[in-house]
């Protein structure tokens, strides 16, 4: 699994979700079957701003061999694995609509890519 491709996929998805949560949090929450309220809109915008930062970091790390990259791969493996666990739990308990499984699938796929590259012999530490 090509690490540059995993970074690219994460960058694109994080930018897409980040812009949605930042610019149209109420709309995206309704798409997922949740009723937006002022507090959830605020936290969705905070999440969107974090996703934009993740997108920028991931895009910049695609082709670099600089020192931060060995720290980013296990960090993103951990973050995406934890996110996948949370998303799968949310999907199992049945809150929201069927799109809840989309986030679980995306996070699980990104987690697999980063975990694979964390333990890959090709990964230079």
Give per-residue pLDDT as tens, 45-87. Answer: 999 999 999 999 999 998 887 766 788 999 999 999 999 999 9
Cα–Cα distance measured from residue 33 to residue 30, given in angstroms and rounded to the nearest whole number = 5
**What is the average per-residue pLDDT within 16-26?**
97
Cα–Cα distance measured from residue 87 to residue 2, given in angstroms and rounded to the nearest whole number = 25
Provide the CB-side half-sphere exposure for 95 (13 A, CA): 9
For residue 123, count other CB atoms closer than 10 A to its CB. 14
**What is the average per-residue pLDDT within 14-31?**
96
Share of the chain above pLDDT 70, in %: 95
Kindly give, in sequence order, each residue whose CB lies less than 8 Å from that of residue 61, ignoring residues fewer than 6 positions away. Answer: 7, 68, 69, 72
pLDDT at residue 121 above 80?
no
Cα–Cα distance measured from residue 81 to residue 111, given in angstroms and rounded to the nearest whole number = 5
The mean-pLDDT minimum among 24-38, 41-55, 110-124 falls in: 110-124
Query: Cβ-count burial of 80 within 10 angstroms (0-12 exposed, 13-18 middle, 19+ buried)?
Result: buried
Q: What's the pLDDT at 124?
A: 54
SS3 for 94?
Answer: coil
Predicted structure pTM score: 0.87
SS3 for 96?
Answer: coil
């Amino acid at each position: 699994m090509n690490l540059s491709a995993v970074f690219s996929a994460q960058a694109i998805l994080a930018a897409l979700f980040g812009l949605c949560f930042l610019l149209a949090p109420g709309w995206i929450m309704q798409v997922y079957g949740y009723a937006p309220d002022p507090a959830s809109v605020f936290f969705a915008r905070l999440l969107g701003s974090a996703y934009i930062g993740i997108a920028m970091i991931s895009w910049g790390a695609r082709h670099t061999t600089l020192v931060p990259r060995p720290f980013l791969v296990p960090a993103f493996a951990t973050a995406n694995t934890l996110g996948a666990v949370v998303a799968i739990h949310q999907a199992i308990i049945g809150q929201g609509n069927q799109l809840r499984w989309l986030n679980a699938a995306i996070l699980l796929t990104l987690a697999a890519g980063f975990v694979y590259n964390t333990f890959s012999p090709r990964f230079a530490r």
